[in-house]
């Protein structure tokens, strides 16, 4: 059984567009062009984290799972539930669009876009990470790429699952789900809760964490999805996710008793119609974000989106996707500001007789607060020598300022204008090995100006470039080895290195399946030189290696137990200066299914 899992994981991460691997690739589909398609027909650099990987590695948060990939860096202001920044190919969080079943998760009232620290992984089918400029398909917030989370589909019949985990820092995790599907109706309900006493978010370097007060965290996530098929051509679907969190945090100058509560609600109603080779989807999405701080400050935001898109197949394997959407972004209470965005887009994909894949995308966005933007992308992937492939992509992108960056009374700047990005990448791969060169140029980058104490556009062009090397290979029938190396050069217009980007990193993993019904894995990363301030200034927060160990045993089809050790060497490190990372910690859990 584990052979099937190994092949599936390897195929999801490293894709060669060849007939020899077609049977392995066909089960893996992604949504890179607003429609599901096989990985072999996607030109964009795309990594897929499968449900099997999430379960076997016992990832808790989205940030933890993403940090297993080459080209991804994570910096956190403390432990579980504390502010976490994602660096995708050197771009920070607010330049990565995050979607949950097509619903935007980027918070327009915040400084950092999506709250990666609050996304708890439950019944997830896959996580797609589409790298490179994607505004030609998705619009603003996709300069670095797109993280698309797809929840699990319901299989025919009734199924129920439950999971309990306990570990250090008074941490307890509960999860339960129940699902039912018939020929016409499917319904799924998921519930998760994490509660932890935690450890201090603030800690001076090499200080004893016991000197400080603990910073607790609690997360309750509920999910509901339902679909009704009127017939073979028409389907109505609804989904809703409610994420309710409480977290205690510390400032940059010392320990504190500050906390905030956040309630995030994501809803989608969609209607699908199939007519021959045409699939049309009409949808309405709503994302709401409410944050209430113990200091008395509150932030309420809302994004409403309405859209339609159609996929039309032509010839044998070619297709075109076109449509439009309308979005409103609102900051409801503190600022009482909003802006609108209307867009039309088209993407074309051709698969030639040689196996070569060609894609072209074009999008036009109109804002009532900014100048209109036209963006696009082109890409190709060409197979050679059985399991080899050569691919390249070029795209343009833009990021508009958030309402917080524009209008916050203290830090906002109404003179901000959108930043513009041009990026390209070239990849060569063979089997489970790939090598990518990427480069992005960002004009008028939006950053916090520490001199003026507000947000501003950095005049000139900032450059982010580097290489990614990745390998995922089976050794014999029982071992899977994965490696991912990134070398990064991220500089502002003055040639100064941007802060909190590691100049190099190495991700590693080894999975062992040689013991019947048992899986053991060790995974981790080496983080190279990294500084807390621009121009290699401030504290050095890199040059360390940290690893985790996980083991699980399947007693029956109904019962599985597992154990996990984070930071097995008890390495002391900080990804953000004066903010603590977890010391060695132990967790055990059990999972039952019916």
Please name the residue ranges forming H helices in 112-235.
Answer: 135-138
Both tokens assigned to 4: 């099937």
CA pair distance 157, 34, nearest whole angstrom: 29
Q: Is the dihedral of CA 266, 128, 525, 503 positive or negative?
A: negative
Q: What is the pLDDT of residue 246?
A: 98
The alpha carbon of 124 is separated from its chain's Cα centroid by a whole number of angstroms, namely 12
DSSP letters, 183-213, are SSEEEEEEEEEEEE----SB--TT--GGGS-
Residue with tokens 């995030």: 264
Q: What is the pLDDT of residue 11?
A: 37
Q: What is the pLDDT of residue 488?
A: 97
CA pair distance 458, 141, nearest whole angstrom: 18
CA pair distance 481, 474, nearest whole angstrom: 6
Both tokens assigned to 399: 């990021």
The alpha carbon of 183 is separated from its chain's Cα centroid by a whole number of angstroms, namely 32
Cβ count within 10 A of residue 210: 9
CA pair distance 387, 432, nearest whole angstrom: 9
Contact (Cβ atoms closer than 8 angstroms) between residue 221 and residue 242: yes
Q: What is the pLDDT of residue 254?
A: 84
Could you read off the pLDDT of 559-591 as tens digits, one per residue?
A: 999 999 999 999 999 999 999 999 999 999 999
Pairing state of beta strands 157-167 and 585-593?
antiparallel
Both tokens assigned to 29: 């589909």
Nearest to 201 by CA among 183, 191, 216: 216
Domains and their CATH numbers in the chain = 2-593 (2.40.170.20)
DSSP designation for 143? S
Both tokens assigned to 331: 């900051």
Q: Up-side HSE of residue 267: CA atoms within 13 Å toward CB?
A: 9
Q: Is the dihedral of CA 91, 95, 99, 105 positive or negative?
A: positive
Q: Label residue 237 left, alpha or beta by phi (over 0 means left) and psi (-120 to 50 means alpha).
A: beta
Cβ neighbours of residue 434 closer than 8 Å, sequence gap 6 or more: 14, 427, 428, 468, 469, 470, 471
Q: Up-side HSE of residue 440: CA atoms within 13 Å toward CB?
A: 30
Nearest to 169 by CA among 248, 114, 245: 248
Cβ count within 10 A of residue 3: 11
Q: pLDDT by residue for the chain (594 residues), tens digit each?
A: 344 343 333 333 333 333 322 323 334 666 767 888 888 888 999 999 999 999 999 999 999 999 999 999 999 999 999 999 999 999 999 999 999 999 999 998 887 889 999 999 988 999 999 999 999 999 999 999 999 999 988 889 999 999 999 999 999 999 999 999 999 999 999 999 999 999 999 999 888 898 999 999 999 999 999 999 999 899 999 999 999 999 999 988 888 889 999 999 999 999 999 998 899 999 999 999 999 999 998 999 999 999 999 999 998 889 999 999 999 999 988 788 999 999 999 999 999 999 999 999 999 999 998 999 999 999 999 999 888 999 999 999 999 998 989 998 889 999 999 999 999 999 999 988 999 999 999 999 999 888 888 999 988 999 999 999 999 999 988 999 999 999 999 999 999 999 999 999 999 999 999 999 999 999 999 999 999 999 999 999 999 999 999 999 999 999 999 999 999 999 999 999 999 999 999 999 999 998
Q: Up-side HSE of residue 196: CA atoms within 13 Å toward CB?
A: 27
Provide the terminal-to-terminal Cα distance of the chain, rounded to the nearest Å.
Answer: 20
């Amino acid at each position: 059984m584990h052979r099937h899992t190994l092949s599936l994981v390897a195929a999801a991460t490293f894709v060669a567009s060849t007939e020899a691997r077609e049977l392995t690739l066909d089960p893996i589909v992604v949504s890179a062009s607003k429609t599901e398609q096989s990985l072999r027909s996607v030109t964009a650099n795309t990594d897929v984290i499968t449900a099997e990987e999430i379960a076997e590695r016992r990832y808790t948060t989205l940030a933890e799972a993403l940090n297993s990939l080459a080209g991804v860096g994570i910096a956190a202001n403390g432990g579980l539930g504390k502010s976490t920044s994602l660096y995708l190919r050197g771009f920070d969080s607010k330049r990565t669009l995050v979607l949950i079943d097509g619903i935007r998760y980027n918070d327009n009232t915040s400084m950092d876009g999506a709250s990666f620290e609050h996304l708890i992984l439950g019944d997830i089918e896959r996580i797609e990470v589409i790298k490179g400029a994607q505004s030609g398909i998705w619009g603003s917030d996709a300069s670095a790429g797109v993280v698309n989370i797809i929840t699990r589909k319901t299989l025919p019949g009734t199924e129920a699952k439950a999971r309990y985990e306990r570990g250090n820092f008074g941490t307890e995790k509960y999860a339960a789900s129940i699902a039912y599907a018939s020929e016409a109706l499917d319904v799924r309900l998921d519930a998760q809760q994490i509660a932890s006493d935690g450890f201090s978010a603030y800690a001076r370097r090499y200080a004893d964490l016991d000197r400080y007060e603990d910073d607790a965290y609690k997360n309750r996530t509920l999910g509901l999805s339902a679909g009704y098929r009127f017939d073979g051509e028409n389907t109505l679907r609804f989904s809703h996710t409610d994420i309710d969190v409480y977290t205690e945090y510390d400032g940059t100058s010392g320990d504190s008793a500050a906390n905030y509560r956040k309630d995030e609600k994501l809803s989608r109603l969609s209607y699908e119609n199939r007519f021959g080779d045409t699939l049309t989807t009409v949808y309405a999405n709503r994302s709401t974000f409410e944050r209430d701080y113990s200091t008395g400050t509150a932030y309420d935001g809302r994004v409403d989106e309405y859209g339609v898109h159609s996929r039309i197949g032509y010839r044998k394997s070619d297709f075109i996707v076109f449509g439009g959407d309308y979005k409103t972004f609102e900051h409801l209470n503190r600022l009482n500001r909003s802006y609108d965005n209307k867009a039309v887009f088209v993407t074309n994909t051709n698969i030639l007789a040689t196996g070569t894949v060609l894609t072209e995308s074009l999008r036009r966005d109109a804002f009532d607060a900014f100048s209109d933007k036209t963006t696009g992308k082109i890409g190709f992937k060409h197979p050679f020598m059985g399991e080899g492939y050569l691919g390249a992509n070029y795209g343009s992108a833009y990021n508009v300022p958030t309402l917080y960056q524009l209008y916050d009374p203290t830090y906002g700047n109404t003179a901000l204008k959108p930043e513009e990005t041009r990026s390209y990448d070239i990849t060569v791969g063979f089997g489970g090995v790939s090598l990518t060169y990427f480069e992005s140029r960002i004009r008028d980058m939006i950053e916090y100006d520490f001199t003026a104490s507000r947000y501003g556009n950095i005049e000139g062009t900032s450059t982010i470039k580097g290489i990614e090397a990745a390998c995922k290979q089976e050794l014999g029938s029982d071992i899977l080895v994965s490696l991912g190396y990134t070398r990064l050069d991220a500089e502002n217009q003055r040639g100064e290195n941007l802060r909190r980007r590691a100049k190099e990193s190495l991700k590693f993993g080894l999975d062992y399946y040689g013991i019947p019904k048992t899986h053991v894995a060790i995974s981790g990363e080496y983080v190279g030189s990294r500084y807390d301030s621009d121009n290699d200034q401030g504290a050095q927060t890199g040059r360390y290696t940290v690893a985790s160990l996980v083991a699980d045993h399947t007693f029956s089809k109904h019962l599985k137990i597992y154990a996990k050790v984070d930071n097995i060497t008890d390495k002391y490190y900080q990804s953000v200066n004066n903010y603590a990372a977890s010391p060695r910690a132990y967790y055990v859990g059990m999972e039952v299914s019916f």
